[in-house]
Amino acid sequence: MIMMKIKSFFEDLRRVLRMAKKPSGEELKIGLRISALGLIILGLIAFAIRLLFALLTGV
């Protein structure tokens, strides 16, 4: 039973890899910009929360 699941997993993996394509340079740049923007936004939110708690607790 486990062997069938493993075999099925690798068949699915092979199918996905066959369909996948390498991104163009422009697609890669856009993806990196979006990821960087998301990290910056999350960092700013975390900083604001940390600052807010520091001001409220007086630390």
Q: Is the pLDDT of residue 4 over 90?
A: no
Name the helix (H) or strand (E) containing 3: helix 2-19
Q: Give the whole-angstrom CA distance, residue 26 versus residue 59.
A: 46
pLDDT at 41 over 80: yes
Q: Give the phi and the psi of residue 28 in degrees, each rounded to 5.
A: -65, -45
6 compared with 45, residue with greater pLDDT: 45
Block residue for tokens 């199918």: 15
The per-residue pLDDT for 34 is: 98
Whether the CB-CB separation of 31 and 23 falls below 8 Å is answered with: yes
